[in-house]
Amino acid sequence: MIIVTGGAGFIGSNLIEALNKKGISDIIVVDNLENGIKFKNLADLQISDYLDKEEFLAAAEKGSLPFERIKAVFHLGACSDTTEWDGRYMMRNNFTYSKKLFHACTKHKIPFSYASSAATYGGSANFTEKPEFEKPLNIYGYSKLLFDQYVRRFFHEAESQIVGLRYFNVYGPRESHKSQMASVAYHFYNQNRREGKIRLFEGSGGYRDGEQQRDFIYVADAVAITLWFMDHPEVSGIFNAGTGRSQTFNEVANAVISYRKFGKIEYIPFPENLAGKYQSYTRADLAKLRGAGCDLEFKTVEHGVFQYLKWLDAQQE
């Protein structure tokens, strides 16, 4: 049995799809379906059960889960809205919940993999998994960093695998429910379909129009990293999950235009409310990941966006 929290979400549902392709269907999905549209992410997948997030945590704390049958827990459930500033909610959801689940797993020696985030680096120019480079710009990034800091205290004594994956800018299928927090590739695709143009921010932070850069990773590649650790239970730690490349928003927009064979870019003023809270550059340092033995290759924006838009077009049919 495998448990995936946030299983109806973006990375979670893609992880379940990949597990299904490996012949694994004894999967318990844990989520909060208050946003009922997320059911679509599960409708074509094979799972054995579904539990509401609060029901699941209560069962874990009471010890009423069949711990002896659980082979791994993938904790992907979280509030990932970087514009959310209710700190009390964010810490309760992303930090306190994670701590309780973490201790239940380590107590029963169950491999525990969880979603951290590149937002832990914030305004840093160095994206190496070390405390001196961790400078979150928002409460979301801080909630993820605080859990990373908490987990670091237990690596030396844990008797089972603990993996924190700092996902960079993930894009791909099954993200439409994220609305404004969906990837720029998703938004650019829809802008191009509706208006024939794609809107990018004007220059900011020393970057020219649309030249802000991110490490964009296709969701299938992010999932492949996640499953690599499941196949290597002897490896623990906090690792970057990115491509090791930094590409511009202009490149993402041009990949969409190239795929659809029409469209243009329009630059709009940089929002005042994002000043000082926006990462203009990210690039995962993959030295630690490679050093652990993970030699996976990752798609470029051009390749990943083409594959993603082909999938999106199929949904319109």
Q: Residue 277 burial by CB count (10 A; 0-12/13-18/19+): exposed, middle or buried?
A: middle
**Coil, helix or strand at residue 248:** strand
Query: Tell me, what's the pLDDT at 317?
Result: 60
| Residue 220, token pair as written in the block | 């299938």
> Does residue 19 belong to any structural domain of this protein?
yes
Domain hosting 264: range is 171-213+246-283+301-316
Residue 288 annotated as catalytic: no
> Does residue 145 belong to any structural domain of this protein?
yes
Alpha-carbon dihedral 215, 118, 27, 30, rounded to 10 degrees? -130
Q: In terms of domains, do 90 and 31 share one?
A: yes
> Does residue 132 belong to any structural domain of this protein?
yes
- CATH of residue 154's domain is 3.40.50.720
> Does residue 310 belong to any structural domain of this protein?
yes
Q: What is the pLDDT of residues 77-111, one digit of tens each?
A: 986 766 777 889 889 989 999 999 999 999 999 99
Specify the DSSP class assigned to residue 181: G
| Residue 4, token pair as written in the block | 């995936």
Query: Tell me, what's the pLDDT at 204?
Result: 79
Q: In terms of domains, do 100 and 191 share one?
A: no
User: d(Cα 204, Cα 225) in Å, to the nearest integer?
Assistant: 32
Q: In terms of domains, do 149 and 70 share one?
A: yes
> Does residue 294 belong to any structural domain of this protein?
no
User: d(Cα 70, Cα 72) in Å, to the nearest integer?
Assistant: 6
Active-site option among 114, 121, 140, 142: 140
Query: Tell me, what's the pLDDT at 277?
Result: 67
Q: In terms of domains, do 38 and 152 share one?
A: yes
| Residue 286, token pair as written in the block | 């993959």
Q: In terms of domains, do 144 and 33 share one?
A: yes
Q: In terms of domains, do 88 and 204 share one?
A: no
Contact 114, 30 (CB under 8 A): no
Active-site option among 135, 178, 277, 288: 178
User: d(Cα 128, Cα 134) in Å, to the nearest integer?
Assistant: 9
Q: In terms of domains, do 112 and 198 share one?
A: no
Q: In terms of domains, do 175 and 164 share one?
A: no
> Does residue 209 belong to any structural domain of this protein?
yes
Query: Tell me, what's the pLDDT at 90?
Result: 86
Q: Which amino acid is at 4?
A: V
Specify the DSSP class assigned to residue 272: G
Residue 278 annotated as catalytic: no
Q: Per DSSP, what are the bridge partners of residue 241?
A: 167
Q: What angle do CA 8, 77, 63 make, to 5 degrees?
A: 105
- CATH of residue 258's domain is 3.90.25.10
User: d(Cα 25, Cα 256) in Å, to the nearest integer?
Assistant: 34
Q: In terms of domains, do 253 and 310 share one?
A: yes
Please state the domain count of the chain.
2
User: d(Cα 135, Cα 156) in Å, to the nearest integer?
Assistant: 25
Query: Tell me, what's the pLDDT at 247?
Result: 97
> Does residue 291 belong to any structural domain of this protein?
no
Q: Give the pLDDT of the chain (317 residues) as one tens digit per residue.
A: 999 999 999 999 999 999 999 999 999 999 999 888 899 999 999 999 999 999 999 998 888 889 999 999 999 998 676 677 788 988 998 999 999 999 999 999 999 999 999 999 998 999 999 999 999 989 999 999 999 999 999 999 999 999 999 999 999 999 999 988 899 999 999 999 999 999 999 987 789 999 999 999 999 999 999 999 999 999 999 999 999 999 999 999 999 999 999 999 999 998 887 776 677 899 999 999 999 999 999 999 999 999 999 999 999 86
User: d(Cα 159, Cα 174) in Å, to the nearest integer?
Assistant: 35
User: d(Cα 75, Cα 4) in Å, to the nearest integer?
Assistant: 6
pTM of the model: 0.95
Interhelix angle 97-107/53-62, nearest 10 degrees: 40
